[in-house]
Structure 1
Amino acid sequence: MDTATAMDLSRALRKGEAAPARSRRRPATRPQGAGNRRAILDRAKLQDSIASLVLRASTPERARSEILELLKGALAQGREEIRRRFEAGASGRTTAALLAWQADQVLRLIYDHVGQDLYPLANPSMAERLAVVAAGGYGRGELAPYSDVDLLFLLPYKTTPRSEQVIEAVLYFLWDLGFKVGHATRSIDDCLRQARQDVTIATSLLESRFLWGDQALFLEFRTRYAAEVQAGKGAWFAEAKLAERSRRHQRYGQGSRYALEPNVKELKGGLRDLHTLFWIGKFLYQVADVDKLVDKGVFTRAEARTFEKASEFLWTLRCWLHYQTGRNEERLTFDLQHAIAPLMGYTAHGGTKAVERFMKRYFLVAKDVGDLTRIFCAQIEAEHNRRSRFRLPTLGRRRRVGGFKLEGDRLTVKGPEHFDEKPIDLLRLFQVAQANDLDIHPDALRWITQSLKRIDKSLRETAKANQVFLDILTGDKDPETALRRMNEAGVLGRFLPDFGRAVSLMQFNMYHHYTVDEHTLFAVGILHAIEQGKLREEAPIASSVVHKVLNRRVLYMAVLLHDIAKGRPGDHSVVGAKVAHRLCPRLGFSPEETETVAWLVLHHLAMSDTAFKRDIDDPKTIQDFAALVQSRERLNLLLVLTVADIRAVGPGVWNAWKASLLRELYWRTEEVLTGGFSTEGREKRVEAKRGALRQALEESAERFEPDWIEGFLDRGYDAYWLSLDVETLLRHARLIRVAEAEQRLLTVDTRVDPYRDATEVTIYTADHAGLFNRIAGALAVAGANVEVARIFTHKDGMALDIFWVRDAANGGAFDKPSKLAKLYAAIEQTLSGSIRPLTELRRQAPNLPSRFEVFTVAPRVLIDNSASRNHTVIEVNGRDRPGLLYRLTLALARLGIMIDSAQITTYGERAVDSFYVQDALSSKIESPQRLRAIRKKLLEALGDGSCAPAGTAETRGRKGAAGGVKAPVGSPKTKKRSARGQM
């Protein structure tokens, strides 16, 4: 007799019961590649140790703490071994299977100890039978490193006192061991009744797996589940799961699989989508694995392999996420993308970062999951003879459209051989569907995917095929949807190999929200919406200008190609222009059209760079931009392209402020190109704005006095009137009149701008040295990130500065009273000199969220003396962080540099700030030695976040020496300030 048997017999004799039978302890299914599982956990050895501890204790209860320590040590050692194997190359699915297996063994040990030592029962009645069942993902035999364990305690009838004691004891053991347990206690009747009513419960029970206890009870449950829940309910289950899937997609990613920081479990194209397919397949076809779906005709062998590969990739990624964070983390944030890329075997190659190659693979896998979903849904539809809910009744009697079969509202072909006979139909099918507002049958899309090799060099060089593609791109009916279908099916990347290189390519930054191909298709859709007049309110000038464009297909092709060279070595604009020169003639473009497309691709960032980084109130800026554009046609084309490009970057990127800057740049450049750029043209616009404001003031309920109105209209320089709309100017007039009436030294006004999701902070006070720098410091101290700054000085020496700020902590607007109070106090105390921003910022030591620290933006300082007639333009590029604007302006102030205007711009993690500056004599800064000093100090500010040792004066800024808010309202300035522009 072996030791274990002797201990079992001894324990049984002590309890007055027969020795327990070991035959019921079936081994779990061995995970592929599991290796030596006893090195993870040896259940037999642990069971002997538990029996020994119980024998030594006076009562079984007194052995509990020692048993817990024993199991904790075994769990920790086993988990460490599983992680070691994973990091040595074991797959994510093998790791998940081993973690589930380990949990199985521990739970069986606990159940045996509770049932045999703590609450023994020699002859349980029928009502006291109990089975422990794994549910949910754990039921599949998969468990991520930090996931919950879902358990069902299955009863034949209602709970008995003994069953309740056993269940409670098992749960307390599991909780004390650190397991996160989701559990339910139900009878078979309860399970079946709830499963028929709730698809979530039906799904959890569908995946149930026997763990321990009364196996016959579990088998009874499975038999009844198949007969009472599954039988005849396939359509209900499939529809409910697909509807649940759609709601989940909207909740986690607005229906797009190309989210910036995807949730690899819940987002479209993630693990949950694969689970959904498997659940539906298991429910409908009673299959245990994906391979069986091949036998059922749902998937081909190749598609089943795609399913397995996608599952393997996503499980490996999920395990890395859990291990890297030490928690149940499913979101692939920026910092984790950067950390996991090399762990998944990705390195930099061909000008593409390792993280970008890794994320491209992720998005390609997500696309594969989408393809499998489409194929699977088609099979369900065919199986249940269901039609699309979007069927068009008027087409019900038509059998063929454009030479293609029509099934319901979907175009299809007789079979995959159709595309062997007519390869051009690989393109034409999308054209006919687009022209007739039809969908494409999933079977046809599947056959297209299988026939992609037919899109070869010969087809690509066929004039008819190229014309079909251009008809799709420039079609009057929704080109975005047609191109998106082509991209999903792989046709677009095969027909335009250059586009294929950009498919699923992620740009690793915080500015771009989508992959390059997704961004491009959005841009095409936005261009079409502009042309259809759907964006008149958001983009009125572009909506008007687009109809002045002489050549539509040039514009559409430029939008399609503007980012096509992303991810390649070199400037993507330059490389993209070369692609346009090569591709456009193939598509039938004339030399003149090709040149225009290439020019637009080369300069597609020029208009936004000029509008957002340069002072467009400076005539030299407008003249330089007009010299680049050269014609009204190119100006019109570039404006529409720029608007489509910016709006397609992502939610919240386009706003009214950017629209106003582009509009102003367009109008002023158009004046130059039509010979109307002159002081007279500028004066007319100023007078028109002043006239509109005069009328608004006269009609205002506040009853402004005529003399006050005329005095106010005489205060501002031209830039002030041209840069702001009448509503804003009217608000300023009210603010200034109240400040004068109450003799305020400082007026701070805040207004939440929901369109920008930012807070507009307006500051009105006497201009003095260091003001701009001090305000920037105060905002940083208050925890505000400056998104946009527009600074003005009136002729009476009063400064009126406008800042759009967001909360540095959460990115939203400053809208809570406590935060606004802190902002007011910080501004007042900084301007009065009672707090020093640099000292306060060092004390606060604000840190960027860790997920942003992975972004590296090479510090760059560009100094340009040719961009303006009267100013030196300094452009500073670096990684954005709290207080950056303050540190930059402080560095300039300490050098005695006078800032006349500033353009503050952020592109995700990148800050691009431009300053129009002069020396103390109001001249350009041209001394090489001085320019070197400026560059050095600004690079220091960008590099380490400091500008000088603590204790150095912080107050030199706007124009010379330091000073607090001392000048009374309306006090004159002895030296006239030059007008300061905006951004």
Structure 2
Amino acid sequence: MTSTHVRTQADDSGPSGYAAARLRLLQEGAQSGPPRRTALAELTDDWLRGLFDAGTGEKGAERLPQKGGGGRREGGPRGVSLVAVGGYGRGELSPRSDLDLLLLHDGSDTDAVAALADRIWYPVWDLGLALDHSVRTPAEARKTAGEDLKVQLGLLDARHIAGDLGLTAGLRTAVLADWRNQAPKRLPELQELCVGRAERQGELQYLLEPDLKEARGGLRDATALRAVAASWLADAPREGLADARRRLLDVRDALHLTTGRATDRLALQEQDQVAAELGLLDADTLLRQVYEAARVVSYASDVTWREVGRVLRSRAVRPRLRAMLGGGKPTTERSPLAEGVVEQDGEVVLARAARPERDPVLPLRAAAAAAQAGLPLSLHAVRRMAAGARPLPTPWPAEAREQLVTLLGSGRPTVDVWEALEAEGLITRLLPDWERVRCRPQRNAVHIWTVDRHLIETAVRASEFTRRVHRPDLLLVAALLHDIGKGWPGDHSVAGEIIVKDVAARIGFDRDDVAVLAALVRHHLLLVETATRRDLEDPATVRSVAEAVGSEGTLELLHALTEADALATGPAAWSSWRASLVADLVKRVAAVLSGDAPEQPAADAEAPTAEQERLAIEAFRTGGPVLALRAQTEPPGESEDKPSGEPEPLGVELVIAVPDQPGVLPAVAGVLAVHRLTVRTAELRALELPDADAFDGPVLLLNWRVAAEYGSLPQAARLRTDLVRALDGSLDIASRLAERDAAYPRRRGVLAPAARVTVAPAASHHATVIEVRAQDAPGLLFRIGRALEDADVQVRSAHVSTLGANAVDAFYVTTAKGVPLPGEEAAAVARALEETLRG
């Protein structure tokens, strides 16, 4: 049955005919979605137009315009029209939707208008339809809109139904002009409404029983985006937005039909019926479609409101800038964040010289830089990278892996950056297995997130524990992947173990690290389930856990992952009681793994290579530092994305030999910081030359892997010159770093966990091992080295590594006599160093 046929029947039969035609339309299996909503709106228009015409015809006085604006006939007062507003104005009538109507009049005959209103409102009520109605003049409508933002939003969608078309058109024109003129004031009010609604209703894309209209990412937000576009101040990303809105409306239609109620909440007990009404496989499929639609609306809202803020700020600042520049055009400041990545106007954008098609690591580098700075990724930048970036080779280069770890370790800002990448398909391109968990609901009252958001939340929580573990990179990647098996049949831990072996190898972890990650994913529920369900006094319980875990390092990571996973699940998943049980179990398992005779660590140093020995001899003979700077590469890969015979860059190796003297570590670290070189790994050790009689005293050998924050590397000769000056005191490193930080303050959007310094028990027979875990930052190693020098301890060797945004360093220190520090003195040095790093 076409909408024209339905309309004719309604005209012939009056209100009862409208009710019958409406019922047939809603029961018509062939029509659903937008066609049914359009037909229902047209059917209702014709019925209300008939009521209006009947009401005005009884007055028998003035002429009123006919449908379509052509011709006039006798009847009714002059200057009256019936207008649909809000959802009805947009033609979005669901089966149980309210009718939002405005009876507009020019004020010349209020009694007649009141009588006409009764002739329209009462038949609507008699049919049991919900009605939101008002009777106003254009001036009253504009005044009310100026006082009530919700009224103004409804009028933006005003649509003429019957009566004086000119009166309706005049109001629409005036309301749109008011909206555009008042946009700088009204849009912040609208945003505040959206934020408040989100706080009350939650995020539609994660709720198990979502409100399709009021929750963030729902129909209200989609309507708000239309209002922003109508202001001409900003516009929402259009891709997918219309389809997302249509999907949410389709689900609401099905919800109204299956429940027979005007409800927008998709309750659990009704989801199977709604899915069947839509022809979907099951309730999970339904929720996944709802979540995907909500995610599109939410992301469009984020981008749009960010653009609104930028435009409003620029409008406020532009006059002052023009005055300062003598009327010239102001320039936009661009601050570098990483290679090919800059900050501009509060967003992270690509540098002008960036070439995504030549730089496959750029998406991860840009994402990590944005998350570390606490800034959003520009929509244009994300789309440009999605359109042009080359796929990463397999395995990933080291920089890509490090940038992923940095992104995951950035705390709360990781969420928004990850969603920006996901909105343009970059996440599933980097991690194809992510598609199976994307938007996947979890039918468990304990879980408050979808599977994919839970994984990101776990990484956010794990970033708070990076100071507790020796391998924060493995902790963060395990957090991201621990539930990746939920997209597959069977036990998700078993499936996840298989998946993570493949994913971790593709990311570029070595065989040992892949084994640890697989164990973490396979056993990520082991500690909490054992602690809460088994007798910890039974030796067999502890022994079985120890056999499953295998090593103290894995146990340490598993403990942190367990807590992060529980905290990211929801408030019911973790408590002080559970925490104490897990901690007790970990303590018992650690005792079993350590045994009665703790395993002795490997020797602190190994024999020097021929080249290292040559550099050391040259340093001794010249009496100053000798540098060797060269690129590190690995053998050519077999990836189709990398030409045959092309080596894979690993970074730049810097080898420094210098005669033993105080202050070498802070001097070298300081010079590298001044030149904006990031230290990825570093080793320092005292090297005794073979011919001890020919050379008086040891030479310090430093082996570093470094990378430029952005730009090119400095020349080795320049590094050596500055190092000589730093060692003789003519170059004040601390002042240089302070001046640079003052001139170019480093933006930090991440509230990083505080630095942690500990003394490792029984780690070496020859020295005291002080471990430092801190947020990586320019000059960090310089501060550590200077603090150890100030503590009058000798650094016998150092082992420095940067894992993502985390520095994990171990310093083997002795007294001036070359023996380990006494217990109290070692603890005091650790405390002093920790205070320095936290200051």
TM-score w.r.t. structure 1 length? 0.54
Kindly indicate whether the alpha-carbon contact (under 8 Å) linking 2:310 and 2:345 is maintained by their aligned counterparts in 1: no
CA contact 2:410–2:460 (8 Å) conserved in 1: no
Q: How many residues align?
A: 573
Q: Which residue of 1 aligns with 2:15?
A: 71
Question: Partner residue of 1:130?
Answer: 80
1:671 Cα offset (Å): 4.5
In structure 1, distance between residues paired with 2:507 and 2:166: 69
How far 1:516 moved relative to its partner?
1.1
Partner of residue 273, structure 2? 339
Deviation at 1:247, TM superposition (A): 1.7
Matching of residue 323 in structure 1 with residue 257 in structure 2 = yes
Tell whether the 8 Å contact from 1:375 to 1:446 is kept in structure 2 after alignment: no
C-alpha separation in 1, matches of 2:167 and 2:353: 49
Identity of aligned residues (%): 28
Change (3 A) 1:94 1:170: same
Matching of residues 161-176 of structure 1 within 5 Å = 161-176=111-126
Q: What does residue 35 of structure 2 align with? A: 94
Q: Report the counterpart of residue 5 of structure 1 in structure 2.
A: none
Hey, what's the Cα distance between the residues in 1 that align with 2:371 and 2:243?
33
Distance 1:652 1:510, change over 3 A: closer
Matches within 5 A, 1:98-113: 98-113=39-54
Matched, 1:277 2:230: no
Q: Does 1:401 align with 2:337?
A: yes
Aligned in 2, Cα 1:128/1:661: closer, same or farther, shift over 3 Å?
farther
Residue 78 of structure 1 aligns with an amino acid whose one-letter code is: A
What amino acid sits opposite 2:297 in the alignment?
A: V
Q: Measured at CA, do residues 167 and 332 of structure 1 come closer, stay the same or move farther in structure 2, by a change above 3 Å?
A: same
Q: Which amino acid aligns with 1:188?
A: P
8 Å contact kept, 1:127–1:157: no
Specify the alignment match of 2:199 in structure 1.
250
Letter in 2 for 1:211: I
Partner amino acid, structure 2, of 1:190: E
**Which of 36, 39, 55 does residue 114 from structure 1 map onto?**
55
Give the Cα–Cα distance (whole angstroms) in 2 for the partners of residues 414 and 314 of structure 1: 38
The verdict on how the C-alpha distance between 1:41 and 1:455 changes in structure 2, with shifts beyond 3 A counting, is: farther
SS in 2 for 1:589: coil
1:359-410 CA distance string (max 9 Å, x none) = 2232222222233334544655676673899xxx9x9965433243432232
- The residue that corresponds to 1:523 in the other structure is 458
**What is the one-letter code of the residue matched to 1:109?**
G
1:405–1:191 distance in 2 versus 1, CA, 3 Å = same
Distance 1:216 1:256 in 2: 41
Counterpart residue identity of residue 265, structure 1: K
1:364 corresponds to 2:287 = no
The one-letter code matched in structure 2 to 1:75 is Y
Compared CA separation, residues 552 and 320, structure 1 to 2 (3 A): same
Counterpart check, 1:42 vs 2:9: yes
The alpha carbon displacement at 1:198 in A equals: 2.5
The amino acid across from 2:284 in the alignment is E
1:463 Cα deviation after fit: 3.9
CA deviations over 1:231-262 (Å, ceiling 9, x no partner): 42233333332222222211111x56312222
Deviations 1:764-814 (A, max 9, x none): xxxxxxxxxxxxxxxxxxxxxxxxxxxxxxxxxxxxxxxxxxxxxxxxxxx
- 1:537 — aligned with what? none
Structure 2: how far apart are the matches of 1:483 and 1:214?
A: 52
Give the whole-Å Cα distance in 2 for the aligned partners of 1:433 and 1:620: 48
Number of the residue aligned with 1:854? none
Task: Tell me which amino acid in the other structure corresponds to 1:306.
Answer: G
Please, what is the CA RMSD of the aligned residues? 3.3
SS at match of 2:343: strand
What's the secondary structure of 1:312's corresponding residue? Answer: helix
CA distance in 2, matches of 1:134, 1:444: 41
Q: CA deviation at 1:475?
A: 5.5
2:379 corresponds to 1:442 = yes
Report deviation, 1:582: 1.7
Q: Find the counterpart in structure 1 of residue 504 from structure 2.
A: 584
3-state DSSP of counterpart to 1:458: coil
CA distance in 1, matches of 2:316, 2:449: 29
1:185 matched to 2:185: no
Equivalent pair of 1:478/1:528 in contact (CA under 8 Å): no
Q: TM-score, normalised by structure 2?
A: 0.63
Q: 2:393 aligns with which of 458, 464, 468?
A: 458
CA distance in 2, matches of 1:555, 1:148: 52
Aligned residue for 1:329, secondary structure, equals coil
The CA distance in 2 between the partners of 1:602 and 1:38, in whole Å, is 62
Cα distance in 2 between the residues matched to 1:306 and 1:113: 43
Q: Residue 158 of structure 1: CA displacement?
A: 7.3
2:837 alignment counterpart: none
Describe the SS at the equivalent of 2:570: coil
Distance 1:185 1:122 in 2: 20
Residue 183 of structure 2 corresponds to 234
Contact map agreement 1:128 1:162 (CA 8 A) in 2: no
Is 1:267 aligned to residue 215 of structure 2?
A: yes
1:720 is matched with none
The residue aligned with 2:801 is none
Whole-Å separation in 2 of the counterparts to 1:298 and 1:502: 31
Matching residue's letter, 1:80: L
Q: Which amino acid aligns with 1:413?
A: L
The one of 657, 680, 688 equivalent to 2:577 is 657
**Structure 1 gap ranges (5+):** 1-33, 47-69, 286-296, 348-353, 532-545, 677-983
- Indicate conservation of the 8 Å contact 2:332/2:345, yes or no: yes
What residue is the counterpart of 1:957 in the other structure? none
Q: Secondary structure at the match of 2:573?
A: coil
Paired residues of 1:381 and 1:387 also in contact (CA < 8 A): no
The superposition leaves residues 546-575 of structure 1 with CA deviations (integer Å, 9 ceiling, x where unpaired) of: 62x322222222111111121212322112
- Post-superposition offset of 1:444: 1.6
Q: Name the structure 1 match of 2:604.
A: none
Residue of 95, 98, 103 corresponding to 1:153? 103
In structure 2, what residue type is equivalent to 1:434? Answer: A
Per the alignment, residue 216 of structure 1 pairs with 166
Distance in 2 between residues matched to 1:212 and 1:554, nearest whole Å: 67
Q: Displacement, 1:495?
A: 0.8
1:78 Cα deviation (Å)? Answer: 1.6
- Displacement, 1:651? 3.8
Taking the TM superposition and a 5 Å limit, the aligned residue runs for 1:468-547 are 468-474=403-409, 479-480=414-415, 482-531=417-466, 547=468
- What per-residue deviation string (whole Å, max 9, x for no partner) do you get for residues 55-79 of structure 1? xxxxxxxxxxxxxxx623x233222
**2: CA distance, partners of 1:550 / 1:382:** 42
Q: CA deviation at 1:181?
A: 0.6
Shift of residue 148, structure 1, vs aligned partner: 0.8
Q: What code does the residue aligned with 2:57 have?
A: Q
Q: CA deviation at 1:674?
A: 4.9
The partner residue of 1:426 within 341, 357, 363 is: 363
Shift of 1:414: 6.0
Which residue matches 1:755?
A: none
1:204 alignment partner in structure 2 = 154
Matched-pair contact (CA < 8 Å) for 1:416–1:448: no
SS of the residue aligned with 1:565?
helix
Distance between the aligned counterparts of 1:476 and 1:263, measured in 2?
29
